[in-house]
Amino acid sequence: MISFKSILPFTKHKFEDLFEEANYKITLRFSFFLCISLILLYLTQFISYDLNRSNLILFATVVSFIFYFYTLKTGEYKKPALIGSYVYAIIIEMSLYSIPKNPTIIAGIWMINNIFFTFRCVNKKNGILLTIIHCFSISSYYLFNAQQLGEPLLSNDINLFDRIGICFNLLFAFLVFLFFIHQTIDTNIKASLKIKNINQEIFNQFEIINQQNEEKTILLKEIHHRVKNNLQIIISLLRLQSYQIEDCESLQSFNEAINRIMAISSIHEKIYQNDSFANIKIEEYFNDLIREIISNSTIHSKIETTLTFEVESIKLNPIVPLALIINELISNSIKHYDEKNQKINIELKFKKVGDKNLQITYSDNGVWKESTKKNTLGIELITALTKQINGNLILTKNPSTKYVFDFENII
């Protein structure tokens, strides 16, 4: 069976939008079928020797070929479809008034073809406009001209050749209409199948990506779990080693190092337990971290904490520096504990500023004594870690010690 595509080669143009491609194909095929139909219709008009009818059909045929080859070459269908709709509207109106032998049903069918084509391949606005034009035209014809020109279907003065011409005209008008409907349905079905195939392909790709993500998630969790275990081994070894240290100052420095490693270990444990690697829920994490730091202190019974979290989660990257900063702050509060005070009251607040910025306020009721050393490791570490995650630090010591950190784009 010879397919429609084999009648004349079609230039393939690529369209990103499936509906644009469908409209292009309909416009191209419809204009080509219209060319063939009008040629055959033009040949049949020699039977009736109607010059006006033949000239109109010849003009419509030439216009159809021009639009067809323009669309075929350029891949542009909107302009030819728009211009063609109005050109054919003019031709149909001329045939309605200039060919009295034609019954109005023929013009009506061509009008329906033109309206359907405009709605499908141009746009709704022009489709409505042409519908109004054709409705007004056919109504005017029946109101003012039908009686004067005579309705051919109601007249007995039509000879055999005229009847044959009218029959061919009706036949080709119906064929064009049926072809357009067929192409619309066929193109929509093909577009639906193509969309279905694309959706299936996207779904398959999603399944593959999802499986890869699950594998990577399991791998990352395993890495964090092993890092946490290794750090716990290091902490245990350091604590065993600390039992052999007799110098109080050295032991204190040793314990501070252990606390820092412990803070990092705690982070890896929380990441391992977390469902998402994108964000970390900070309330649970910092509650556990602070509780663990305080429990390792000899004065843990004298420490009270007030923790306020106005932020639910933050990004993964800044969590390690933040944990080390909090560890240093609490360690310094414990280090500068004054026995005259019965309790150490530590306040820690996480406040959201804007959409992505975070402000951390840390304070206690003690007065931190200035160290005899110019640059202590704790303060240097806090300053360095703050800069590392694009933060600013404001420190006040009167009447009590207070740190205010402002971090950008970490939520």
Domain containing 356 equals: 279-407
Backbone φ and ψ for 316, nearest 5 degrees, come out as -75, -40
How far apart (Å, rounded) are the C-alpha atoms in residues 79 and 87?
12
DSSP structural state of residue 394: E
What predicted TM-score, i.e. pTM, was given to this entire model?
A: 0.52
Q: How confident is the model at residue 164 (pLDDT cuts 50, 70, 90)?
A: low
Q: Look at the block and give the residue holding tokens 């069918």.
A: 109
**Structure tokens that stand for 96 in this block:** 């309605």
| Domain presence at residue 219 | no
Of 207, 241, 265, which residue is a domain's last? Answer: 207
How far apart (Å, rounded) are the C-alpha atoms in residues 57 and 46?
12
Q: Which amino acid is at 37?
A: S
Rounded alpha-carbon distances, angstroms, from residue 288 to 124, 135, 145, 258, 329: 64, 79, 93, 16, 16
| Domain presence at residue 361 | yes
3-state helix, strand, coil in the chain (%, to 5): 65, 10, 20
pLDDT for the residue numbered 48: 57
Same-domain status, 70 and 184: yes
Question: Which among 139, 172, 153, 168 has a CA at the least distance from the CA of 101?
Answer: 153
Rounded alpha-carbon distances, angstroms, from residue 192 to 22, 65, 185, 197, 247: 10, 30, 10, 9, 80
- Please report which helix (H) or strand (E) contains residue 344, including its range: strand 344-353
Same-domain status, 28 and 161: yes
- Count of structural domains within the chain: 2
Of 207, 239, 264, which residue is a domain's last? Answer: 207
Strands (E), 32-120: none
DSSP structural state of residue 144: I
Contact 64, 18 (CB under 8 A): no
pLDDT digits (tens, 9 = 90+) for 106-161: 788 888 888 888 888 888 888 888 888 888 887 777 666 655 445 544 455 556 56
Of 153, 176, 207, which residue is a domain's last? Answer: 207
Question: Which among 81, 63, 61 has a CA at the least distance from the CA of 71?
Answer: 81
pLDDT digits (tens, 9 = 90+) for 306-328: 999 999 888 888 988 998 899 88
Helix axis angle, 51-74 to 18-44, nearest 10°: 150
pLDDT digits (tens, 9 = 90+) for 254-274: 888 888 888 888 888 877 777
pLDDT digits (tens, 9 = 90+) for 322-374: 988 998 898 888 887 776 667 888 999 999 998 889 999 999 887 666 555 55
